[in-house]
Structure 1
Amino acid sequence: MGFLGWVGRAFSRVYWREKPLVARIRPHLPVGGSVLDVGAGGCRIAELLGADGRLSVTAVDVVDHNVTDVPLLLCDGDTLPFPDKSFDAALLVFVLHHAEHPEALVREVVRVTRSTVVVIEDAPGTLAQRLWWRAWDYLLNHAAHDDIGVAHRARNVAQWVAFLRSCGAAPVSARRFRAFYPVLRSYPHVVLPVPVDATTHG
């Protein structure tokens, strides 16, 4: 691991991003429900969401970068080892742009969810924003961890909405925001809550 990798890992040891993200996620989650955090990474979001005991949070990922005491279940990235409608809600936080088969992953997450899927994604719109996005994504992910693939495709807000709709998972809103941490304010992000109902499932 080179210098950039050490820088990326140093960033990853600080909860500079997770607390503001949890504040954006909580309003979309049922009180006292069960939550599946897909692509949980360091499991910090799962840890924060479950800290007060009101939510039961299950964390899954394809690699183990867990830095918390939250149990992490490893899966293959295409299928989830749970029965249909196992969880009240599910999270896909900065996951889909890394997924090799994002359409299949969205459908799997919808399958195991009863109520809501909360998608949070990077949403660079201009060429300059896409260049910043590529640079920071490489630094904070691939340079720090060889087993995290580089981001596959940048999408702006409208493209994320269209993509989710094509997967049968239409979001009810698309709220843009900029990360609190200065380096990531160079491009926007978006929160996309997707209601899951009988029509979505099938």
Structure 2
Amino acid sequence: MGVLGRVGRAFSRVYWREEPLVERIRPHLPAGSSVLDVGAGGCRVAELLGADGRLSVTAVDVVDHNVTAVPLRLYDGERLPFPDKSFDAALLVFVLHHAERPEALVREVLRVTRSTVVVVEDAPGTCAERRFWRAWDYLLNHAAHDDVGVAHRARDAGQWVAFLRSCGAAPSSVRRFRAFYPVLRSYPHVVLPVSVDSATSG
């Protein structure tokens, strides 16, 4: 592993962004909900969400980078290994920009969810922000884990909304934020909750 990979893995050992993320995600998940975390990565979001026992969180991913005691289920990246409407809610946290077929992934997540899908994504807008985004995404993901694909496409907040609408998953709100960790404040992020009832009926 090269220098960039060692730096990326060093960052990944610290809970420097998961706790603020969980505080932004939790309001969209009523107590007692069953939650599917798709593309769970190190499973730290799943661990934090399930820590107080008010949520039952299932983690799935296409590779195993789990650094917690949360059970991780691997799948083929095509069809989630669950029946229709298996979970109250699902999470796509910094996942869609890595997906080769993000439209198919959104529709598959809608299939297994009864109520809410919460999408959290990077949303660089300017040329400079997109350069920072690509550099940090490469460092924190692909350089640290060569089985994590490089980011495929940057979208700003408006483009994410349009993309989700094109998948039949119009967000009910748009919340922009910048990460607490200083280097990631160089570009914005967005929380996009989707009502599955509205998505499936629309």
Paired residue for 2:116?
Answer: 116
Paired residue for 1:49?
Answer: 49
- Which consecutive unaligned segments of at least 5 residues does structure 1 have? none
Paired residue for 2:22?
Answer: 22
C-alpha contact 1:110 1:201 (8 A) present in aligned 2: no
Paired residue for 1:126?
Answer: 126
Change (3 A) 1:77 1:7: same
**C-alpha separation in 1, matches of 2:181 and 2:199:** 38
Task: Name the SS for the 2:96 alignment partner.
Answer: coil
**C-alpha separation in 2, matches of 1:38 and 1:56:** 14
Task: Name the SS for the 1:90 alignment partner.
Answer: strand
Matches within 5 A, 1:68-87: 68-87=68-87
Output the amino acid matched with 1:29: L
**C-alpha separation in 2, matches of 1:64 and 1:70:** 12
Count residues in correspondence: 202
- Which consecutive unaligned segments of at least 5 residues does structure 2 have? none
**C-alpha separation in 1, matches of 2:63 and 2:105:** 16
Q: State whether structure 2 residue 197 is matched by structure 1 residue 197.
A: yes
**C-alpha separation in 1, matches of 2:171 and 2:85:** 18
**C-alpha separation in 1, matches of 2:63 and 2:85:** 24
**C-alpha separation in 1, matches of 2:23 and 2:36:** 17
Give 1:199 deviation, angstroms: 5.2
Give 1:174 deviation, angstroms: 0.9
Give 1:65 deviation, angstroms: 0.1
Paired residue for 2:158?
Answer: 158
Output the amino acid matched with 1:77: G
Give 1:7 deviation, angstroms: 0.3
Supply the RMSD in Å over aligned alpha carbons: 1.0
C-alpha contact 1:38 1:91 (8 A) present in aligned 2: yes
**C-alpha separation in 2, matches of 1:114 and 1:67:** 29
Paired residue for 1:64?
Answer: 64
Task: Name the SS for the 1:19 alignment partner.
Answer: helix
Output the amino acid matched with 1:142: H
**C-alpha separation in 2, matches of 1:54 and 1:137:** 32
**C-alpha separation in 2, matches of 1:201 and 1:135:** 39
Output the amino acid matched with 1:13: R
**C-alpha separation in 1, matches of 2:130 and 2:112:** 32
**C-alpha separation in 2, matches of 1:111 and 1:144:** 32
C-alpha contact 2:85 2:112 (8 A) present in aligned 1: yes
**C-alpha separation in 2, matches of 1:199 and 1:176:** 22
Range with greater deviation from structure 2 (192-201 or 37-46): 192-201
Paired residue for 2:37?
Answer: 37
**C-alpha separation in 1, matches of 2:185 and 2:135:** 13
TM-score by length of 1: 0.98
C-alpha contact 2:85 2:114 (8 A) present in aligned 1: yes
Divergent runs of 4+, >6 A? none
C-alpha contact 1:92 1:120 (8 A) present in aligned 2: yes
Paired residue for 1:185?
Answer: 185
**C-alpha separation in 1, matches of 2:195 and 2:36:** 15
Q: How big is each residue's C-alpha offset from its partner over 1:101-130, in whole Å with a ceiling of 9 and x where there is no partner?
A: 100000000110011000000000000000
**C-alpha separation in 2, matches of 1:30 and 1:82:** 21
Give 1:177 deviation, angstroms: 0.2
**C-alpha separation in 2, matches of 1:201 and 1:144:** 41
Task: Name the SS for the 2:48 alignment partner.
Answer: helix
